Structure 1
Amino acid sequence: MKKYSAALALALAAISATPPTAAKAEIAATIPIKVTPASVGDPGYAAIPVVIWAPSTGTGLPLVVISHGTGGGALSHVDTAQALAEAGFVVVAPMHPGDNFQDDSNVGKPAWFVDRSRHVSKVIDHMLSGWEGHARIAPGKIGIYGLSAGATTALITIGGEPDLARIAPHCAASPEFVCRIMAPQTVTTPPVWTHDARIAAAVIAAPGIGFAFEPAGLTKVRVPIQLWVGSADETVPFKSNAAIVQRLLPKPPEFHSVSDAVHLSFLAPCTPETPPFLCQDKPGFDRRAFHNSFNKSVIAFFRQQFRITPKAKP
Structure 2
Amino acid sequence: MRLAPAWIFTLVILLGSACPAFASVGMVELASNPSSGPVTIFYPASAEAQLHRRDAFQFELALNAAPAPGNHRLIVISHGSPASPWVYLELTRTLVLAGFTVAMPEHHADNYKDDSEPGPPSWKRRPIEVSRAIDRLRDDPQFARSLDFTRVGMYGMSAGGHTALSLAGGRWSPSRLRTHCQQHLVDDFHACAGLSTSLTGGPLDRLKLAVVESIINHKLDDETWYEHTDPRIVAIVAGVPFAADFDPASLAQPPVALALVTARLDRWLVPRFHSDAILAVCRSCEHLADMPGGGHGALLAPLPPDMARLTATLIGDPPGFDRQAEVTRLNETITAFFIRTLAPAQDRAPTPR
Partner in structure 1 of residue 203 of structure 2: none
Whether the aligned pair in 2 keeps the contact of 1:118 and 1:194 (CA below 8 Å) is yes
C-alpha spacing 1:42/1:157, structure 2 compared with 1 (3 Å): farther
Deviation at residue 285 of structure 1 after TM alignment? 1.1
Q: Secondary structure of 2:150's partner? A: strand
Whether the aligned pair in 2 keeps the contact of 1:61 and 1:138 (CA below 8 Å) is yes
Q: 1:197 aligns with which of 231, 248, 271?
A: 231
| AA of the residue aligned to 2:37 | I
C-alpha spacing 1:112/1:212, structure 2 compared with 1 (3 Å): same
Partner in structure 2 of residue 132 of structure 1: 142
Q: 1:289 aligns with which of 284, 306, 325?
A: 325
Partner in structure 2 of residue 306 of structure 1: 342
Q: Deviations over 1:138-195 (max 9, x none)?
A: 122210111100011011122211132111221111012121148342226x355321
Deviates more, 1:218-227 or 1:295-304: 218-227
Partner in structure 1 of residue 38 of structure 2: 49
Q: 1:91 aligns with which of 102, 105, 127?
A: 102
Q: Distance in 1 between matches of 2:90 and 2:181?
A: 34
Give the alignment of 1:1-314 within 5 angstroms: 31-41=23-33, 43=35, 47-56=36-45, 57-58=68-69, 61-108=72-119, 110-130=120-140, 132-175=142-185, 176=188, 177-181=190-194, 183=216, 184-187=219-222, 190=224, 193-208=227-242, 210-219=243-252, 221-270=254-303, 274-275=305-306, 278=312, 280-307=316-343
Deviation at residue 267 of structure 1 after TM alignment? 0.7
Whether the aligned pair in 1 keeps the contact of 2:153 and 2:342 (CA below 8 Å) is no
Find runs of 4+ consecutive structure 1 residues off by over 6 angstroms. Answer: none
User: How many positions carry a matched residue from both structures?
Assistant: 274
Deviation at residue 131 of structure 1 after TM alignment? 5.2
- Quote the sequence identity (%): 26
Structure with greater Cα Rg: 2
C-alpha spacing 1:60/1:232, structure 2 compared with 1 (3 Å): closer
Deviation at residue 303 of structure 1 after TM alignment? 0.7
Q: Distance in 2 between matches of 1:255 and 1:220?
A: 17
Whether the aligned pair in 2 keeps the contact of 1:42 and 1:122 (CA below 8 Å) is no
Deviation at residue 213 of structure 1 after TM alignment? 1.6
Deviation at residue 36 of structure 1 after TM alignment? 1.0
Q: Deviations over 1:202-234 (max 9, x none)?
A: 1111111x2222342324622112211111111
Q: CA RMSD in A?
A: 2.4
| AA of the residue aligned to 2:220 | Q
C-alpha spacing 1:111/1:61, structure 2 compared with 1 (3 Å): same
Q: Distance in 2 between matches of 1:288 and 1:213?
A: 33
| AA of the residue aligned to 2:305 | T
Q: Secondary structure of 1:275's partner? A: coil
Q: Distance in 1 between matches of 2:71 and 2:301?
A: 28
C-alpha spacing 1:86/1:163, structure 2 compared with 1 (3 Å): same
| AA of the residue aligned to 2:260 | L
Deviation at residue 66 of structure 1 after TM alignment? 0.8
Q: Distance in 1 between matches of 2:226 and 2:180?
A: 23
Q: Secondary structure of 2:155's partner? A: strand
